[in-house]
Structure 1
Amino acid sequence: MQYWRKHGVALCYTLPAALIIAAFFITSILYTLYVSFTNDDGLGTTEWAGFENYVRIFQDMTYIASLKNTFIWVVATLAFPVGLGLMFSVLLQNMKGQRFFKNVFYLPYAMSLTVVGVIWVFLFSQTGINFILSRIGLNELAIDWLSTPPYNTYAMIVASIWQGAGTNMLLFLIGLGALPKEPFEAASIDGAGRLRTFWSITLPLLNPITIVVMGMALVNSFKIFDLIWVMTMGGPYRSSETLAVTMYRESFVLFHFGQGAAISILLTVASIAVSWFYLRKTIAREA
């Protein structure tokens, strides 16, 4: 009763907005779920299709390629930006001029993925990396990066790593700065080396920050769209599409709203399931 007396007025102000947001959120999910079971193209009469759209995702080679690319993005985004962010944070922790390097590494994250995509389209062009390779006698490595599968996917992952590693570094630096000094002093007295100290003390103590960083990277890897659309538009021949790009193309380019809705439902379920599994295992291990 005391809680309602103290916060009742504030709740009355926020409740209408919360109800409106919840209504739109739930309605959109239910409508998308309904459309995913139809062959709606936005032009004619909608017919019930059952699970046909979902079955097609695992039978059509275009959608299978999109699933594979999404898996590659998830693994690469978890491994490289997180790993590099951790490595950079450890290197910069006690380095002079730390503020300068923090700003340099964080600068790419201040740019939108659209801007990052434009920058890296130029870098992967004939006047960018290929020009440098030809100048140093490595002409055989100067390929058309964004038009040659699977190198186009790898090239875009490099751009994503460049944009995201700095943020992970800052988060790990915050975590490193908050660690207690006593365990490290005890390890130093016992004669533990740097590698042993890092593996046995630093990493376990950083686990709460690691959970946050990897959780963010996991969600972002599933919804990557703008970088791919700017750099390759999923091409050539839809070879570099992820589920998010395929969903957009099916819905708003090809007007296969039923198929696009099915892909969006699958993508949502997959991201929630993987995130839940990761958090459950991690928190259970912590406990």
Structure 2
Amino acid sequence: MTTPTVLPDRAVAAAGAAASPGGPGRPGRFALFGRLRYLYISPAVVFVAVLLYLPFVWTAYLSLTTYDGLGSAEFTGLDNYVRMFHDEALLTSIRNTLLWVVGTTVLPVGLGLLVAVLSYDLKGGGWFRLPFLLPYAMSGAGLGLIWGFILQPDGMANQVLTFFGMPGGDTEFLQDGPRNTIAMIVVWAWQQLGVNMLLFVVGLQSIPRAPIEAARIDGASGWRMFRHVIWPLMRPLTTVVFGLALVASLKTFDIVWVMTQGGPGRTSETLAVTMYRDVFVADDYGYGSAVAVLLTTITGLASYVYLRRQAGREEG
């Protein structure tokens, strides 16, 4: 019986070096590729830095200055940030942005989930879902033009309500805040419902059938089936859908600008509209940059808190 030979550590290291593709004393081919991995990803890193990080750094710098687009910027420190919290228009903008966050994460996501669940096992469900998908093909500007015409004073909505003798025929949907913001949230939800519904349908189709069949055998159906089986299995997708809706709500601009331009009297502005007005209409680049930094900070913090909370639920 032959006793296996035990090599000392130096012999093992020498054997590994000799067997490496680069030969003894030189790194192997895979080790060389590992060292070059930073070189491979450097173009993408530079691309992201140039398009994202450098503009943000420049915006953050402008937020500390007074600059009207002409001449040189004058450094003023935190004056723009102090000014923000004494600006009633900005406080109204923050309130409207919070309304957008609540409305556009509850209405289109909740209704999209409801339509997806109700039409999933329905015969001809694809045709039932088609009308909900069509509005998503429209741009935000086109949507704003159409609904701005419908909801304007003495517009189509007022005329239809008056013709059928229904209450609200004299309502000014876009003239008073926060009613105008709520009206635009409903319009946005009407457009976004379809894509959220489609995402949830894809999520339902990816659920394994075995847990559902087992729950049916145990007598689960309806609300119990959804709450205890379907909803937990769809939680990862729901996290993504809510996250996308949250970010979209915080940067809402096009539909507000087209329908009301933030008016009347800046009562329907969001933070994105306020930023645009201060920079490109009022030529107040310093103050507009401060609003942009505030919006970016709120978006980042809200996304971070939401994702951490969802991750904690999944781990728990």
Shorter-chain TM-score: what band?
Answer: over 0.9
- Dislocated runs of 4+, deviation >6 Å: none
User: Who is 2:269 aligned against?
Assistant: 241
Alignment of 1:4-153 (within 5 A): 5=33, 12=40, 15-16=42-43, 18-125=45-152, 126-138=154-166, 140-153=168-181
Aligned partners of 2:93 and 2:271 also within 8 Å? yes
Aligned partners of 1:15, 1:44: CA distance in 2, in Å?
A: 36
One-letter identity of the residue aligned with 1:244? A
User: Who is 2:301 aligned against?
Assistant: 273
Aligned partners of 1:286, 1:138: CA distance in 2, in Å?
A: 48
Structure 1 runs not aligned, ≥5 long: none
Per the alignment, do residues 179 and 242 of structure 1 end up closer, same or farther by CA in structure 2, a change over 3 Å counting? same
One-letter identity of the residue aligned with 2:188? S
Per the alignment, do residues 238 and 191 of structure 1 end up closer, same or farther by CA in structure 2, a change over 3 Å counting? same
| Greater shift in the superposed pair: 39-48 or 126-135 | 39-48
Aligned partners of 1:211, 1:283: CA distance in 2, in Å?
A: 9
Cα deviation for residue 177 of structure 1 reads: 0.8
User: Who is 1:229 aligned against?
Assistant: 257
TM-score (norm 1): 0.93
Q: Which structure has the larger Rg?
A: 2
One-letter identity of the residue aligned with 2:68? D
Cα deviation for residue 109 of structure 1 reads: 1.1
Cα deviation for residue 139 of structure 1 reads: 5.1
* Larger relative contact order, structure 1 or 2 (CA cutoff 8 Å, min sep 6): 1
User: Who is 2:6 aligned against?
Assistant: none
Structure 2 runs not aligned, ≥5 long: 1-28
Which of 219, 231, 238 aligns to 2:247? It is 219
Aligned partners of 1:109, 1:65: CA distance in 2, in Å?
A: 29
Could you list the per-position Cα deviations for residues 211-259 of structure 1 after superposition, in whole angstroms to 9, with x for gaps in the alignment? 1100000000011000000000000000000000000000000011001
Per the alignment, do residues 89 and 24 of structure 1 end up closer, same or farther by CA in structure 2, a change over 3 Å counting? closer
Question: Per the alignment, in what secondary structure is the counterpart of residue 212 of structure 1?
Answer: helix
Cα deviation for residue 97 of structure 1 reads: 2.0
Aligned partners of 1:23, 1:140: CA distance in 2, in Å?
A: 52
Cα deviation for residue 100 of structure 1 reads: 2.0
Q: Does 1:154 align with 2:216?
A: no
One-letter identity of the residue aligned with 1:96? K
Aligned partners of 1:88, 1:221: CA distance in 2, in Å?
A: 21
In percent, how many aligned pairs have the same letter? 45
| Greater shift in the superposed pair: 226-235 or 127-136 | 127-136
Aligned partners of 2:96 and 2:178 also within 8 Å? no
Cα deviation for residue 24 of structure 1 reads: 3.8
Cα deviation for residue 142 of structure 1 reads: 2.8
The alignment yields a C-alpha RMSD, in angstroms, of: 2.1
* Number of equivalent positions: 286
Per the alignment, do residues 131 and 49 of structure 1 end up closer, same or farther by CA in structure 2, a change over 3 Å counting? same
Aligned partners of 1:276, 1:270: CA distance in 2, in Å?
A: 10
